[in-house]
Amino acid sequence: MSKKLLLFAVPAAVAAAGIYLYFTYGRSAARTAQVLEYIRNPSARPDLRMAAGAVCGDAPFIFPTDGLIGFIWDDSFRPGHRHSGLDIFGGTDVGVTAIVAAYPGYLTREADWKSTVIIRVPEDPLDPSRQIWVYYTHMADPNGNSFVSEQFPPGTKEVFVEAGTLLGYQGNYSGDPNSPVGVHLHISIVKDDGFGNFKNELEIENTYDPSPYFGLPLNANENPDVIPVCG
């Protein structure tokens, strides 16, 4: 599960809806300010929203959900922390914004996963010699009531899905009912361990820069402050 610390409450109208945001450091401060603006009033910045199913240029992945890309690969939420994927904020309540598969593959949902699925891609479209895994999470409410599609109950193993298949809906599950995260999808591209298993997604070294998969500037080392978007 993607973990963000140092949560803070947003103004009363937003906090009343159960939405919490992340406080970020240094280079991502300008991007964070835009995320805050969007969460407070999503309709004010339609130019920053991406649409589910969109394809940027000749990128192999489709965009997996509607919303604003708030935080990207290698953003930092506390000193020493490195974000292993990207966070897409739908600007809606929990259980409303659909999430679809970004690329075909074989879906697994472990028996204890309340908000998560992972899809095995046997041939990485950028390097067919290697296998990758695409990880989707936060698909539940603060109490762990799942928004994962009923097609994929806990214990699902190796079910083939096409790109665009409905996986579930954005939620704000963090594992702690008293500290929900903002309503969003966290998605990351995870390395295979060489034995047909996925590595620990929490460690950035176990993930790939998602930029070439989506055709967007999703690496915070190269894009410190801009909200990524394509036409």
CATH number at residue 108: 2.70.70.10
Is 176 among the domain residues? yes
User: DSSP string spanning 112-151?
Assistant: T-SS-EEEEESSBTTBTTS-EEEEEE--B-TT--B-B-TT
Position 228 in a domain: no
Which is more confident, 157 or 6? 157
Residue 108 falls inside a structural domain: yes
Compute the average pLDDT of residues 151-180. 96
Owning domain of residue 26: 7-214
What number is the average pLDDT over the span 194-198?
96
Does residue 198 form part of some domain? yes
CB within 8 Å of 139: residues ≥ 6 apart = 99, 115, 116, 117, 146, 147, 148, 167, 168, 169, 170, 171, 173, 185
For residue 1, being part of any structural domain is answered with no
- Where do runs of H (alpha helix) occur along 29-121? 29-40
141 in any annotated domain: yes
Q: How far apart are CA 54 and CA 127, in angstroms?
A: 22
Q: What is the mean pLDDT of residues 53-59?
A: 97
pLDDT at position 45 is 87
In the block, residue with structure tokens 């936060």:
138
pLDDT at 27: 61
Does 230 have pLDDT greater than 80?
yes
pLDDT digits (tens, 9 = 90+) for 72-103: 999 987 677 789 999 999 999 999 999 999 99
Top-confidence residue, 24 or 163: 163
The residue with greater pLDDT, 33 or 154, is 154
Query: Looking at per-residue confidence, does 25 or 90 come out higher?
Result: 90
CA dist., res. 3 & res. 38, Å (int): 21
pLDDT of residue 6: 29
Q: Is 5 helix (H, G, I), strand (E, B) or coil?
A: coil
Predicted confidence at residue 26, as pLDDT, reads 52
In-domain check, residue 210 = yes
Please state, rounded to an integer, the average pLDDT across all residues of the chain: 88
Domain count, the chain: 1
Contact between 73 and 211 (Cβ < 8 Å): yes
Assigned domain for 204 exists: yes
Q: Phi then psi for 149, rounded to 5 degrees?
A: -55, 140
Percent of the chain with pLDDT over 70: 87
